[in-house]
């Protein structure tokens, strides 16, 4: 429920009247107009939310960032194609297991996201990794080795952060295609986006298109699904959805969405395809849920990216941490029927037990099972990949299992005595620790009925 609904719609005007009076007040109001009303309205909403959730946030902050008084924010430097670090972004400076599994940190030049915001997040990533790329194996200035294009683009670094991004280029029918295997009927896609150089003159037709297609080269294909993520700042453009089934358009719609705050703050995009159903989230908010968007059968085997109508050299778009995984189905039924589920979708900050908020979709589903099955108790088991020392990874896996338990107890109210934790470190790998995909598969959390 939006806290603003409990307040008169005249609050923005009242606040401005409080600070200004007489002719000066009228002149300022006239100049600022709707932009000022929107800014004040957002300020009021933020302050109301802060007061309402103040006590809850204190407990949640201890989970998100233990030992701090709240989540921190950090600026995003400009990327460069010179002098960047070639260290994998999934490792810390000591070489410890990173465990980001395809997601960047959630802070940026704006309001930090918290676990509380994500506590109702219902996205569940797939549990079988198909493709992951953070460009850690690519050289700065090169086009990434696991991608294809009919245009250009290059890997860039972000100063000394160790992060790497693929900078896309705008142009007519230029595609960027990762080397994913054939996509199954049920899978999920996640990636991070960064935009630089946007302003109020950025075109209303500037968008990043995420496409699923039956064509493996540089055409739309006879069957496709398109999602257009807008980057216009002067107006809420909305997300355009389109598809073709056997060369015939079935859907073309614009879904109302104001993403102007999100697109300048490194948004995390999540997509779930469950047979014909297509869903899309930007950060914690679900914007698209179309039940019959995708053609029947696994015919859309290819993932493609395309950027449109950005000013060359000024408005720059980057993507990173692309993760594609099979699955994304309801974990609740599997836990009840089989008594055990394993997931690599619970993400942590590099080398730490700090849970990344977008992981809350999985933890929320586990909590729902425990709330419905009063007699069920669980063992939470943490696993890492083999980067770093064996002892360090064992300790890290134990801390991560404990952090998941703490989230279940403090966020969702599960009784402490129903949960036990254990760490296995790197001792039980599922994949090859010499590959990026294998490492992502090995970083996982297991929930086992006891």
* Per-residue confidence (pLDDT) for residue 124, from 0 to 100: 85
| Of 91-100, 238-247, 435-444, minimum mean pLDDT range | 91-100
Q: Report d(CA 31, CA 34) in Å as an integer.
A: 9
Q: How confident is the model at residue 44 (pLDDT cuts 50, 70, 90)?
A: very low
User: Could you tell me the domains of the chain?
Assistant: 3-52 (no CATH), 53-101+109-123+330-450 (3.30.1330.60), 125-327 (2.60.120.200)
The 3-state DSSP class for residue 376 equals coil
* Per-residue confidence (pLDDT) for residue 112, from 0 to 100: 33
| Of 31-45, 104-118, 135-149, minimum mean pLDDT range | 104-118
Q: pLDDT tens, 296-348?
A: 887 899 999 999 999 988 999 999 999 999 987 678 888 999 999 999 889 88
Inter-residue contact 396 to 426 (CB < 8 Å): no
* Per-residue confidence (pLDDT) for residue 331, from 0 to 100: 80
Q: How confident is the model at residue 117 (pLDDT cuts 50, 70, 90)?
A: low
What angle, rounded to 10 degrees, do the helices at 54-64 and 390-410 form? 160
Other beta carbons within 10 Å of 135:
26
The pTM score is 0.66
Q: pLDDT tens, 373-415?
A: 999 999 999 999 999 999 999 999 999 999 999 999 998 999 9
Calculate the average pLDDT of the chain: 79
Q: How confident is the model at residue 360 (pLDDT cuts 50, 70, 90)?
A: confident
Q: Which residue has the tokens 């002098």?
A: 83
Question: What DSSP string runs through 400-432?
Answer: HHHHHHHHHHHTT---GGGEEEEEEETSS-SS-
**62: Cα within 13 Å, side-chain hemisphere:** 11
* Per-residue confidence (pLDDT) for residue 123, from 0 to 100: 86
Q: How confident is the model at residue 204 (pLDDT cuts 50, 70, 90)?
A: very high
- Arithmetic mean of pLDDT, 270-280: 94
Residue 319 has φ and ψ, to the nearest 5°, of -130, 155
* Per-residue confidence (pLDDT) for residue 439, from 0 to 100: 87
* Per-residue confidence (pLDDT) for residue 329, from 0 to 100: 67
Q: pLDDT tens, 232-254?
A: 999 999 999 999 999 999 999 99
Residue 425 has φ and ψ, to the nearest 5°, of 60, -135
Q: Which helix (H) or strand (E) holds 341?
A: strand 340-343
Q: How many residues does the chain have?
A: 450
- Arithmetic mean of pLDDT, 424-449: 90
Q: How confident is the model at residue 422 (pLDDT cuts 50, 70, 90)?
A: very high
């Amino acid at each position: 429920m939006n806290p603003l609904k409990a307040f008169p719609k005249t609050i923005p005007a009242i606040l401005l009247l409080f600070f200004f009076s007489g002719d000066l007040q009228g002149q300022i109001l006239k100049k600022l107009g709707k932009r000022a009303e929107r800014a004040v309205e957002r300020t009021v909403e933020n302050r109301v939310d802060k007061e309402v959730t103040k006590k809850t946030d204190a407990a949640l902050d201890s989970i998100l960032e233990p030992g701090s008084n709240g989540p921190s924010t950090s600026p995003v430097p400009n990327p460069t194609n010179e002098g960047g670090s070639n260290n994998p972004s999934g490792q810390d400076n000591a070489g410890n297991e990173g465990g980001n599994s395809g997601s960047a940190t959630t802070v940026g030049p704006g309001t930090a996201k918290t676990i509380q915001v994500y506590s109702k997040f219902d996205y569940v990533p797939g549990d079988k990794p198909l493709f992951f790329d953070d460009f850690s194996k690519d050289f700065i200035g090169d086009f990434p080795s696991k991608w294809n294009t009919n245009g250009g683009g290059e890997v860039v670094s972000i100063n000394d952060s160790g992060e790497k991004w693929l900078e896309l280029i705008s142009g007519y029918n230029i595609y960027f295609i990762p080397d994913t295997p054939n996509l199954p009927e049920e899978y999920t896609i996640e990636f991070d986006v960064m935009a630089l150089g946007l302003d109020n003159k950025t075109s209303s037709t500037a968008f990043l298109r995420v496409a699923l297609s039956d064509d493996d080269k540089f055409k739309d294909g006879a069957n496709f699904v398109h999602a257009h993520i807008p980057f216009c700042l002067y107006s809420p453009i909305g997300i355009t959805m389109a598809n073709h089934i056997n060369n015939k358009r079935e859907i073309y719609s614009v879904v109302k969405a104001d993403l102007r705050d999100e697109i300048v703050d490194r948004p995390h995009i999540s997509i779930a395809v469950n047979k014909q159903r297509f869903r899309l989230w930007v950060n914690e908010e679900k914007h698209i849920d179309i039940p019959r968007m995708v053609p029947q059968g696994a015919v859309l085997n290819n993932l493609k990216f395309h950027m449109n109508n950005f000013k060359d050299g000024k408005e720059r778009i980057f993507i990173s941490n692309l993760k594609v995984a099979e699955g994304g189905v309801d974990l609740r039924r599997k836990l009840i029927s089989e008594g055990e589920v394993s997931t690599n979708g619970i993400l942590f900050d590099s080398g730490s037990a700090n849970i990344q908020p977008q992981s809350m979709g999985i933890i929320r589903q586990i909590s729902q099972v425990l709330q419905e099955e009063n007699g069920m108790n669980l063992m939470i088991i943490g696993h890492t990949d083999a980067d770093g020392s064996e002892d360090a990874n064992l300790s890290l896996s134990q801390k991560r299992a404990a952090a998941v338990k703490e989230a279940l107890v403090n966020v969702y109210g599960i009784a402490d005595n129903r949960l036990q934790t254990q760490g296995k470190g790197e001792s039980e790998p599922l994949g090859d620790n010499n590959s990026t995909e294998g490492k992502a598969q090995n970083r996982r959390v297991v929930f086992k009925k006891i």
